[in-house]
């Protein structure tokens, strides 16, 4: 079995962060989202991986390399524009051959891994198997309808209403019949080749499509709120460790990871929290569920439930909760008062979301 990871999206819902980096490299739980995908793929016993990339190809290549750091062999496949999930399968035809494969959206986190999904697919042997999970708003997802033996009888892309509340959650398993399906469908009204249309073609032509209900935590990290929630969930089981330096005037409580080269000076850090390598936290208070990337400077800051990306500088910011801040950025001073302020800030120094 092979894996096809999609990392070519533009991430418009995360601008201005994604004006300076691909959404798949935004960290949650201290690691880029796509790294969690690759870890899950290797843990499921798959070693041959194709990564579909777009305009951020060079940056993703630099971060992932040849895959050896993950125990994988990675092939990069260039998609000239985001033309739909089925189009990604279409351009990966030579890489995939006639092997079974996992199609994994590179901005989705499945905290429990995909091992059980892969094992079920290998045992049952359908033409396609969809990982599905219950959602409250069907209009945000592709929705699958399941009947006896978890056979999928229909899929809809972001319907306004549905008798099913089972969303397809970003992991698909396919046999070689999917290649015929993606060639058979037409471009949708959105201007894309939709994988839901290809799956519906399989169903309509009598092929075996199954659904597998995913019981663990999963999240599509396509917006700031979902990233911050995912960060919180992945930090919960953090093991404490201090590889950097913490002065006598500082206090750590709960599980806190201080990376090599990081310095904590006159500060309080309440875990779970991570301070990345080479970062300096001075005269600051970091609340739980906060991650600070590499090479950051936090001075006179009071943050909680936040993600601070590599190279960011945050000075004299108080009472801020749920902050997502891009690198090389000097956050504005201020004390927003009780209840805190939520911000998304990017490298262009424009705050784009206040909640």
Residues 311/328, Cβ–Cβ less than 8 Å: yes
**Residue pLDDT, tens place only, 253-279:** 999 999 999 999 999 999 999 999 999
- What distance in Å separates the CA atoms of residue 291 and residue 311, rounded to the nearest whole number? 13
List CB contacts of 203: < 8 A, sequence separation 6 or more.
152, 153, 154, 155, 209
What's the sign of the alpha-carbon dihedral 187, 188, 194, 196? Answer: negative
- CATH T-level fold of 238-354: UDP N-Acetylglucosamine Acyltransferase; domain 1 (2.160.10)
Q: Is the pLDDT of residue 243 over 90?
A: yes
Q: Which residues contact 256 (CB under 8 A, 6 or more apart)?
A: 238, 240, 242, 269, 270, 271, 272, 273, 274, 275
CA distance 144 to 133: 10
Question: Looking at residues 113-117, what average pLDDT do you find?
Answer: 96
Cis peptide before 73 (omega within 30 of 0): no
Does domain 2-234 sit in CATH 3.40.50.2000?
no
- Give the pLDDT mean for 153-158: 84
- Asked which of 68-77, 165-174, 312-321 is least confident by mean pLDDT, the reply is 312-321
* Extents of the domains making up the chain: 2-234, 238-354
pLDDT bracket for residue 165 (50, 70, 90) = confident
- The band of 327, judged by pLDDT with boundaries at 50, 70 and 90, is low
Q: Name residues whose C-beta falls within 8 Å of residue 44's C-beta, 6 or more positions apart in sequence.
A: 102, 113, 114, 115, 117, 118
Instruction: Report how far residue 79's alpha carbon sits from residue 184's, in angstroms, rounded to the nearest whole number.
Output: 20
The whole-angstrom separation of Cα 91 and Cα 100 is 16
Q: What is the pLDDT of residues 60-102, one digit of tens each?
A: 999 999 999 999 999 999 998 888 999 999 999 999 999 999 9
Nearest CA-CA partner of 144 in 118, 162, 171, 122: 162
- The more confident residue out of 258 and 18 is 258
The single residue listed with the structure tokens 């990564």 is 51
Instruction: Give the pLDDT of residue 162.
Output: 80
Residues 6+ apart with CB under 8 A from 31: none
Three-state SS for 253? Answer: strand
Cα(293)–Cα(221) distance, integer angstroms: 18
- Above pLDDT 90, what percent of the chain? 65
Give the relative orientation of helices 195-204 and 177-184 as an angle to the nearest 10 degrees.
110
């Amino acid at each position: 079995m092979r894996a096809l990871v999609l990392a070519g999206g533009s991430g418009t819902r995360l601008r201005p962060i994604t004006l300076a980096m691909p959404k798949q490299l935004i960290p949650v739980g201290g690691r880029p989202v796509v790294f969690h995908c690759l870890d899950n793929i290797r843990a499921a016993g798959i070693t041959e991986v194709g990564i579909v990339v777009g305009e951020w190809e060079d940056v993703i290549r630099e971060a992932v390399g040849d895959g050896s750091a993950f125990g994988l062999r990675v092939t990069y496949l260039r998609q000239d524009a985001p033309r739909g999930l089925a189009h990604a399968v279409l351009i990966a035809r030579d890489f995939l051959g006639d092997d079974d494969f996992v199609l994994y959206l590179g901005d989705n986190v499945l905290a429990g891994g995909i091992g059980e999904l892969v094992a079920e697919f290998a045992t049952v042997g359908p033409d396609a198997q969809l990982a599905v999970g219950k959602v409250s708003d069907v209009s945000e997802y592709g929705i699958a309808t399941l009947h006896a033996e978890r056979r999928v009888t229909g899929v809809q892309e972001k319907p306004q209403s549905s008798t099913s509340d089972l969303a397809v959650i970003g992991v698909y398993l396919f046999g070689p019949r999917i290649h015929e399906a993606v060639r058979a469908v037409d471009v949708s009204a959105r201007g894309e080749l939709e994988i839901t249309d290809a799956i519906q073609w399989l169903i309509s032509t009598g092929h075996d499509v199954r659904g597998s209900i995913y019981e663990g935590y999963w999240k599509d990290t396509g917006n700031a709120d979902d990233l911050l929630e995912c960060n919180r969930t992945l930090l919960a089981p953090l093991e404490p460790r201090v590889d950097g330096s913490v002065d006598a005037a500082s206090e750590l409580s709960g599980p806190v990871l201080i990376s090599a080269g990081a310095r904590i000076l006159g500060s309080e850090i309440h875990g779970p929290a991570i301070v990345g390598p080479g970062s300096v936290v001075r005269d600051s208070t970091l609340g739980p569920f906060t991650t600070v990337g590499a090479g950051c400077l936090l001075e006179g800051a009071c943050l909680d439930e936040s993600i601070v990306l590599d190279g960011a500088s945050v000075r004299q910011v108080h009472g801020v909760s749920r902050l997502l801040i891009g690198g090389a950025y000097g956050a504005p001073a201020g004390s927003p008062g009780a209840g805190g302020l939520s911000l998304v800030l990017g490298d262009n120094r424009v705050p784009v979301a206040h909640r």
